[in-house]
Chain A
Amino acid sequence: MGKGKPFLEVLASAIHEDFRFPFLELFAFLYTLGTFALANFTVGVYSQMATNEAVAYAVTTSLISFSLLIFLILVFKNIAYGLGNELEKGIIQTYFSYPLKRRAILTAKLLSGIGFSLLLFLGIQISAFYILAPDIVLPQFGTIVLTYAASLSYPLFLSAIILLLALKLRRGGIGLVVGFILYIAMSIVSGLVLIVATATKSPLVLQIMSFISPNYALQYHYGGLATVPELSLPWTPTLYEATLYVVGSYVIVAALFILGYTYFSRRLNL
């Protein structure tokens, strides 16, 4: 028997656990409703000088906002609660009977918990965007992909932290609570960063924060916050710089996931 089949067995089992009826349906419903309900095509048109790229960025951001929260809830459910519970109850040990390395088991769990959720999120979002405005999606596809990449970096960063917490705490309930506290704390920090940057008129804290949430850099690149005089800063990153922040943030996310893999493969005593 090759390694592919046991991996698919574990993946199928993980998907079955993470998306028991009617969770998949419920989240698909919420993604669809949230995407359409909060789509706002007027956001990009306040400025007469708004470029097509800025309009595509603003519209994409409005489409993503609510669905990202649903995506995070789904990740909390699957990783903090789901994986945490499996570690707590010893269910994860049953997977060790398969001829698979630990990292393959974790990959299957992450593909189910995060990958499948991400697939559902992107599938519904891009289809909805195409239904609403095909003539924005096709010509500005690059901008839209960059906006999705920038917007998803922060939730993936949180997902990686939640994974590390779940592996460390090995408890479903407490992992969920700590995950939510972390999310709220990070939201407060994000708000404070903006206040500090505008109060000091220095973009330094925003530039640092952009390595975790590169959406700030993209927002300032497209002049989204520059239209609000109180939030304007002497910082207009170029597209190249904004893309570098996106790449940098994914390097951090990848490093955190590698840390999770290393911990699960070598340090986690089960």
Chain B
Amino acid sequence: MKRWATILGRGGTTLIAISLALLLVSLIPQIQMMSSEGSGRLPPGGMQILFYQQNLNPQQELEVAVTADGPLTVYLLEINIELEFSPNTGFVQRFNETDLQQILQENRDLIIWEDTVENGDYKRSYTPTRIMNATAVLYNQLDSESVYVEHDVALKSSLAPGDKVRTIAYFAVPIGVILMIPWLVNMWKERKQSQTPSAIL
């Protein structure tokens, strides 16, 4: 019984030590790697690319905030946008409404988000679970009216996804404390027993 209490107790203290390390990791602040803001009117059937990056990794978090005065759709797609150089216009993104429609109809597995923004604010963040391409797109449906949009996109880098790590630590600490209790009680009893004879003497 005493041995089991020791094994569980040490398991508990180890769990607490791991949780403290996880909490410490989650407290290390994120570094903002990129941020872009913009506003404008999006016509019916119009599309705007908010963000694109090759190799978005699990230590990065993409934050998208959109304010619109009408309905529109925010897509996060698992695609890479290629740039095409033209002497007149410079680099141009090779992705247009037709490409988006093709993905929506034929390659729906490339869609990570498909969120509708009704008149108001929209905010969402994404941390990938592998290294992947990511492109955030705003799209105004053909049958709707022109919409005024304000957007704010940020890419942050951290050691680990803070929320996930913190949640694990919050669950692990109480489990560790519960496992520790019998061990601590045993230790306290042993100390008390060893102190009693000397107190009498």
Is A25 in contact with chain B by the CB < 8 A criterion?
yes
Question: Do residues A28 and B18 form an inter-chain contact, with CB atoms below 8 A?
Answer: yes
Task: From the candidates A12, A21, A30, A133, name the one contacting B13 in the complex (CB within 8 A).
Answer: A21
Q: Which of B20-28, B107-115, B135-143 contacts A (4 or more CB under 8 A)?
A: B20-28
Q: A135 and B13: CB pair below 8 A? A: no
Contacts of A1 in B (CB 8 A): none
Chain A residue with Cβ nearest B10: A24
Given A29-B18, A33-B24, A55-B131, is A39 in contact with B13 using a C-beta cutoff of 8 Å? no
Chain A residues lying within 8 Å of B131, measured Cβ to Cβ, are 41, 44-45, 55, 133, 136
Given contacts A33-B21, A37-B25, A136-B131, contact A131 B13 (CB under 8 A): no
B14 touches A33 (CB 8 A): no
Which chain B residues lie closer than 8 Å to A28 at the CB level?
A: 14, 17-18, 21
Known: A12-B3, A39-B159, A134-B129. A21 touches B10 (CB 8 A): yes
Q: Taking the complex as formed, is B186 at the interface, i.e. its CB lies under 8 A from any CB of chain A? A: no
Our pick among B14, B21, B130, B164 for the contact of A131 (Cβ within 8 Å) is B164
- Establish whether residues B161 and A132, one from each chain, have CB atoms under 8 Å apart when the complex forms: yes
A22 within 8 A of B: yes
Taking CB atoms, residues of chain B closer than 8 Å to A44 are 131
In the complex, A142 Cα to B17 Cα: how many Å?
30
Smallest distance from the beta carbon of A253 to chain B beta carbons, Å?
Answer: 27
For B57, the chain A residues whose CB sits under 8 A away are: 41-42, 45, 133
Encode A1-37 as 1/0 by CB contact (under 8 A) with B: 0000000000010000001011011101110110011
- Please tell me if B119 contacts chain A, counting CB pairs below 8 Å: no
Question: Which DSSP category, helix, strand, loop or mixed, fits chain B's interface?
Answer: helix
Residues of chain A contacted by B22 (CB below 8 angstroms)? 32, 36
| A36 touching B17, Cβ below 8 Å | no
Residue B16 lies at the interface, judged by CB distance under 8 Å to chain A: yes
Which of A29, A39, A124, A135 makes the CB contact (< 8 A) with B59? Answer: A39
Min CB distance, A229 to chain B, in Å?
Answer: 22
Q: Are B17 and A25 in contact (CB under 8 A)?
A: yes
Q: Is the CB of B165 within 8 A of A131?
A: yes
Q: Does B5 contact A (CB under 8 A)?
A: no
Contact call B18/A124, Cβ cutoff below 8 A: yes
Partner of A25, one of B13, B165, B168: B13
Out of A22, A25, A33, A134, name the residue touching B25 (CB < 8 Å). Answer: A33
A25 near B16: Cβ-Cβ < 8 Å: yes
Nearest CB in chain A: distance from B160 CB, A: 5
| Residues A133 and B14 in contact, CB atoms below 8 Å apart | no
In the assembled complex, how far is the CB of residue A200 from the closest CB belonging to chain B, in whole angstroms?
A: 35
How far, in whole Å, are A122 and B195 apart by their CA atoms in the complex? 41
Q: Which one of A39, A40, A124, A134 lies within 8 Å of B160 (CB-CB)?
A: A39
CA distance A131 to B160 in the complex (A): 8
Smallest CB separation, B54 vs chain A (Å): 8
CA distance A19 to B17 in the complex (A): 14
Known contacts A29-B20, A33-B24, A36-B160: does B58 contact A132 (CB below 8 Å)? yes
B residues contacting A by CB (< 8 A) are 3, 10, 13-14, 16-18, 20-22, 24-25, 54-55, 57-59, 128-131, 159-161, 164-165, 168
- The list of the 6 closest CB pairs from A to B, nearest first, reads A32-B21, A41-B57, A135-B130, A25-B17, A45-B55, A135-B129
Extra contacts, 12 of them, besides A12-B3, A37-B159 (Cβ < 8 A), are A19-B10, A21-B13, A28-B14, A28-B21, A32-B18, A36-B25, A36-B159, A39-B159, A42-B59, A132-B58, A134-B130, A136-B131
A-B contact pairs, 9 of them (CB 8 A): A21-B13, A24-B10, A32-B21, A32-B25, A33-B24, A36-B160, A44-B131, A133-B129, A136-B58
